[in-house]
Amino acid sequence: MKPDSSFVPGTAGELGYFTARNLSGLGQFRHWFLTRRTGRSTGPFATLNLGYGNGDDDGVVAGNRKAAWTALGLSREPLGLKQSHTDGVEVVGEGSAGMLAGSPPLADAFITAEKGTPLMVLTADCLPVVVCDARTPALGVVHAGWRGTALGITRKAVSLMAREFGTKPGECFAAVGPGIAPECYTVGEDVRAAFIRGFPWGTEVLRPAEGGGWKADLREANLRQLVEAGLPASAVAVCPYCTHCETEHFFSARRDGPKSGRQASVAMLI
């Protein structure tokens, strides 16, 4: 892994993570793009698998989560989602965090203006996207796979932040976290059709792959959505690290198959 000045590695005890430099200077905000470093999972889920439902032992996953949140100094477990590759965006309002903790919503993004409530998405090739409005303040955390990306979930999350909280997108900063690089992501005609249907620039984030299919650039597609939503391109950091290539640091469903673990991206207002 070649060092990149826009994403900075860090540790909390044995836990490993990356932070985006453009977000780290915002005083009302904390975020972590966790790696798979440390953890108690074994076999195909080794080491810090934070995802349930893929065949790992639930008790081990619970222990991994508890250790991770403790290492990060969180006083409460992050809110999660029943991620379903849609464009659903959940608004976390005053008093709703407790209810959502007991019954995670069927959605693929959170937005909130509530301080002290950590939000989490899980990925294993899909992109985690974090949007921070330091003026309001407000926060958006997005799980962007190809389906959600084709439906415009990142653009929708920013638009809802503007509607719900008065966010001014032109004053926001965002980071597109670690995900699969276009060189490693060959897709079929269904994905190409969805991107063409969803965006006037859909063909520009696809290129023919050797042997058939298309190479899809989810990074560029989500960057374009952020810019369309009103963020300056200069305010968006895009992580260059590929989950498929960097086996030591990240889980990858495309590489590891259905028994891939999941890494978490966590963000909160303070």
Residue 199 pLDDT: 98
pLDDT score of 23 more than 80? yes
In tens, the pLDDT along 152-169 reads 999 999 999 999 999 999
Task: State the average pLDDT over residues 5-15.
Answer: 96
Label residue 28 by pLDDT band (50, 70, 90). Answer: very high
Half-sphere exposure of 112 (CA within 13 A, CB side): 27
Residue 209 pLDDT: 97
pLDDT score of 2 more than 80? no
What are residue 120's DSSP bridge partners?
A: 266
Please report how the helices 153-165 and 218-229 are oriented relative to each other, as an axis angle in degrees rounded to 10: 30
For domain 7-269, give the fold: CNF1/YfiH-like putative cysteine hydrolases (3.60.140)
In tens, the pLDDT along 45-67 reads 999 999 999 999 999 999 999 99
What is the rounded distance in angstroms from the CA atom of residue 53 to the CA atom of residue 58? 8
Which two three-digit tokens encode residue 174?
A: 């965002």
Label residue 1 by pLDDT band (50, 70, 90). Answer: confident
CA-closest candidate to residue 63, choices 74, 79, 75, 52: 52
Specify the pTM: 0.97
Residue 183 CB coordination number (10 Å): 12
Residue 18 pLDDT: 98
Label residue 96 by pLDDT band (50, 70, 90). Answer: confident
Residue 76 pLDDT: 94
Task: State the average pLDDT over residues 64-83.
Answer: 97
Residue 191 pLDDT: 98
Q: What dihedral do alpha carbons 176, 19, 15, 185 form, nearest 10°?
A: 20
pLDDT score of 3 more than 80? no
Residue 181 pLDDT: 98
Residue 219 pLDDT: 98
